Chain A
C-alpha cells in the first residue's frame, strides 16, 4: 500500500516519495525474510517426514538412498493401522459432538439465565489446563474402578475422559463467540418476539455462534485425536493412532520399516487436521473469533 501511494505522488515530492518507497521495500524484504524463516522452521520437519515416508533407506547421507511407494501401500492396506485410524477418528468425533452438545446449553444458561454460576463454570473449564492429563487419567481410573468397574478399559470410558479434558476448548471458543454476538441481548429480543428457549437456542444462538462452534469442535477433535496419556492409562486394550505410534517408536525395528510407516501415519494425521483447519478458516472468514480464555475471563471481572 505504501508503495502504491508513493507512485501516485505529484513530481514535487517525488524524491521524498522515492525514499519512502525505498523504506517500504526494505521493510517488505525484512518481513518476507522473517516470514520465510518461520515457514522454513515449521515446514522442515514435515518435509523431512514426507521424504522419509518415500525413502528406501535414509541413514548416512543428506538425501535418501532411494525412493519407494512401498510404505504408503503397506500402511494404507494395514488392517491394524486402519483400525487405529478409525478408532481415533470415532473417538475424536464423539468427543467433539458430546462437548458441543454439553457446552452450548451450559454456556448459554450461564450467560443468559443464571450469571451467578459463571465463576463455577469458568473454574471447571480451567481445571483440565491446570492438571496434567496423566493425573486426571489416574483419578478417572481410580474412580471408575470404584463406581463402574465394568467400564474400565472400554472405549466408552475413554470417550468420557476425552470429553472431560477437551471441553474447555469448546467452552472458551463458544463463550467468546457468545460474547462477540451479544447473545444476552439477542436472547431477550427473541423472547420478546415469543420464542421458546429451544427456539432461541436453535434459531438464534447456534447460527450466531457458528464460528465458535466450528473452532471449538476442531480444537476438541484435535485434542482428543492426539491425546496419549489418558488413552494409555484408560484405554490400554484399545488401539488409537497415538498408542500405535508410540508402539512403533518403542519397537526399535527400523529394518522392518516401522519408522517409515510411522512417517506415513504422521503425515496422514497432519493432513486430516490440516484439512479440518482449512474448513475452520473458511467458515470463519471475515469474522473475529475469540479463542483465548482472556477474552471471556476479562469480562467476568466486571460482570460479577
Chain B
C-alpha cells in the first residue's frame, strides 16, 4: 500500500493563489477528506495529485516516488468525477474494462477482473447497459469500478456525490467507504459537505484560501476546531462577538473563560447549539435557576431535536444564540418563555478578532 505526500505545493492562476504551500501526508490505506468552500483549492490539489494540473512549486509523491512531472496516464491513480464522466459509447462493462484495455492486458484477465469489479460495485445485472440507461447512483458506482479497475495505488474522488439526490447520496457514501476499506486503497476525497467528510473520512483536512487550516480526525475537528475558519465551517455553531475584560471572555451567567493568546479588545466565542444547557421556565423544583436569563424567540421542530432561537439579556445588550434540545425535553418550553442558559466552559472556544 502506498501513501501520498504533497510537499510545499503551490499553484497560481494569474494573481489568484489556488494553492499556497500545501504539505499533506496521506497515510497508506487512509481516506483523507479535503473539505472546504468552493474556490478553496481542494479540487486543484486533487488535480495536482492526478497530474491534470502541474504545480508551480513543490512535489507530489505517491508511494515514495516523485510524480510531479509524470503524466497523468502513467500515474497509479483511479479517479471519480462529480459528473460521473462515463463514456457514453461504451456499456457499463466496457467502461469498467477501459483502463485494462488501454493497458493491453490479456483478454482473460480483463474478463475476470471486470466480473469481480461488477460484483464489487453491484452492477452485474446492468453490465450490458449504456450509461444513458442507468441511474445516477448506478453511474457513480460504475465510475468507481472503472477507477479501481487497474489496481491503482491511490483513489481520487472529486465531489462524487454532489450530483445525486439526498437519499442516494447517503447510501452511496457508505458504499464508497465500504469498498475503499475492503480494497484497502489510499483515497483522497474532495467535498464541500462537512457532514459527508465527517462520515466517510479517517482524517479531514479543512482548506481555505489555498491553505490547509487543520488536519485531524473528524471528531477532533468537530470538538476542537483549530482556527476560526474551521470553527465556522465544521458543524453548526453559535458565534458570539464579545469584549475582553481583565483577560477573560465571558457571557455573564453563561460561561467565563480566559481569553486566547494575542487577543485585543474583542474576541469571538464559538460553542455548539447542543452544548447550550437550557433550564426550564419555572423553577418548579424549588431550585434557584442558574445561568443567563434568555427569552425563547422561536421554536423550530427538527424531528429528533428542537432548535430554540434565544435572545439573552445580560445587561450589556441582547445576545442571540441557538440551542438544540432533544425534542422530548423541549416539549414544555413555549415560545416567549423565559429560560436560563449555561454553557460548559470546556466546550467554548474563543479566537482573537
Chain A contact residues, CB within 8 Å of chain B: 181-182, 185-186, 188-196, 199, 203-204, 207-208
Whether the Cβ atoms of B83 and A185 lie closer than 8 Å is: yes
- In the complex, chain B residues 68-125 whose Cβ is within 8 Å of any chain A Cβ: 71-74, 77-79, 81, 83, 85, 87-89, 98-99, 102-103
Q: Is the contact region of chain B dominated by helix, strand, or loop, or is it mixed?
A: mixed
Whether the Cβ atoms of A192 and B77 lie closer than 8 Å is: yes
Q: Could you list some 10 contacts between A and B, CB below 8 A? A: A182-B85, A189-B81, A191-B71, A192-B78, A193-B73, A193-B146, A195-B73, A195-B98, A196-B102, A199-B102
Whether the Cβ atoms of B88 and A188 lie closer than 8 Å is: no
Q: A182-B83, A185-B85, A204-B89 are in contact. List 19 more A-B contacts (CB 8 A).
A: A185-B83, A189-B85, A190-B87, A190-B98, A190-B102, A192-B78, A192-B147, A192-B156, A193-B99, A193-B149, A193-B150, A194-B73, A194-B99, A194-B102, A194-B150, A196-B102, A204-B87, A208-B87, A208-B88
Name the contact of A191 in the complex, choosing from B52, B87, B103, B156 (C-beta under 8 A). Answer: B52
Q: Distance in Å from the Cβ of B289 to the closest Cβ of chain A?
A: 61
How many chain B residues touch A (CB < 8 A): the figure is: 24
> Residues of B contacting A204 with CB < 8 Å?
87, 89
Chain B contact residues, CB within 8 Å of chain A: 50, 52, 71-74, 77-79, 81, 83, 85, 87-89, 98-99, 102-103, 146-147, 149-150, 156
Whether the Cβ atoms of A186 and B85 lie closer than 8 Å is: yes
When chains A and B are docked, how far (Å) is the Cα of A157 from the Cα of B136?
52
> Residues of A contacting B79 with CB < 8 Å?
189, 192
Closest chain B residue to A193, Cβ basis: B99
Q: Distance in Å from the Cβ of B163 to the closest Cβ of chain A?
A: 13
Q: Distance in Å from the Cβ of B8 to the closest Cβ of chain A?
A: 24
When chains A and B are docked, how far (Å) is the Cα of A204 from the Cα of B79?
17
When chains A and B are docked, how far (Å) is the Cα of A133 from the Cα of B103?
48
> Residues of B contacting A203 with CB < 8 Å?
98, 102
When chains A and B are docked, how far (Å) is the Cα of A191 from the Cα of B146?
13
When chains A and B are docked, how far (Å) is the Cα of A69 from the Cα of B50?
70
Whether the Cβ atoms of A207 and B77 lie closer than 8 Å is: no
**5 closest A-B pairs by CB:** A207-B89, A192-B79, A189-B85, A193-B99, A195-B102
Name the contact of B88 in the complex, choosing from A181, A194, A199 (C-beta under 8 A). Answer: A181
> Residues of A contacting B89 with CB < 8 Å?
204, 207-208
When chains A and B are docked, how far (Å) is the Cα of A189 from the Cα of B160?
14
When chains A and B are docked, how far (Å) is the Cα of A199 from the Cα of B73?
11
Whether the Cβ atoms of A188 and B102 lie closer than 8 Å is: no
> Residues of B contacting A190 with CB < 8 Å?
87, 98, 102
When chains A and B are docked, how far (Å) is the Cα of A193 from the Cα of B51?
12
Q: Distance in Å from the Cβ of B244 to the closest Cβ of chain A?
A: 49
Whether the Cβ atoms of B73 and A188 lie closer than 8 Å is: no
Whether the Cβ atoms of A185 and B81 lie closer than 8 Å is: yes
- The answer to whether A192 and B50 touch (CB under 8 A), given A181-B88, A207-B89, A208-B89, is yes
Q: Distance in Å from the Cβ of B5 to the closest Cβ of chain A?
A: 20
> Residues of A contacting B156 with CB < 8 Å?
192
When chains A and B are docked, how far (Å) is the Cα of A203 from the Cα of B88?
11
> Residues of A contacting B87 with CB < 8 Å?
186, 189-190, 204, 208
Q: Distance in Å from the Cβ of B295 to the closest Cβ of chain A?
A: 51
> Residues of B contacting A189 with CB < 8 Å?
79, 81, 85, 87
Residue in A188, A193, A204 with the greatest tally of chain B CB atoms within 10 Å: A193
Q: Distance in Å from the Cβ of B141 to the closest Cβ of chain A?
A: 16
Whether the Cβ atoms of A191 and B85 lie closer than 8 Å is: no
When chains A and B are docked, how far (Å) is the Cα of A186 from the Cα of B77?
16
Closest chain B residue to A207, Cβ basis: B89
When chains A and B are docked, how far (Å) is the Cα of A207 from the Cα of B50?
25
> Residues of A contacting B71 with CB < 8 Å?
191
Q: Distance in Å from the Cβ of B266 to the closest Cβ of chain A?
A: 43
> Residues of B contacting A182 with CB < 8 Å?
83, 85
Q: Distance in Å from the Cβ of B53 to the closest Cβ of chain A?
A: 11
When chains A and B are docked, how far (Å) is the Cα of A203 from the Cα of B102?
9
Q: Distance in Å from the Cβ of A214 to the closest Cβ of chain B?
A: 14
Closest chain A residue to B146, Cβ basis: A193
When chains A and B are docked, how far (Å) is the Cα of A194 from the Cα of B81?
15
Whether the Cβ atoms of A192 and B72 lie closer than 8 Å is: yes
When chains A and B are docked, how far (Å) is the Cα of A149 from the Cα of B146?
56
Q: Distance in Å from the Cβ of B77 to the closest Cβ of chain A?
A: 6
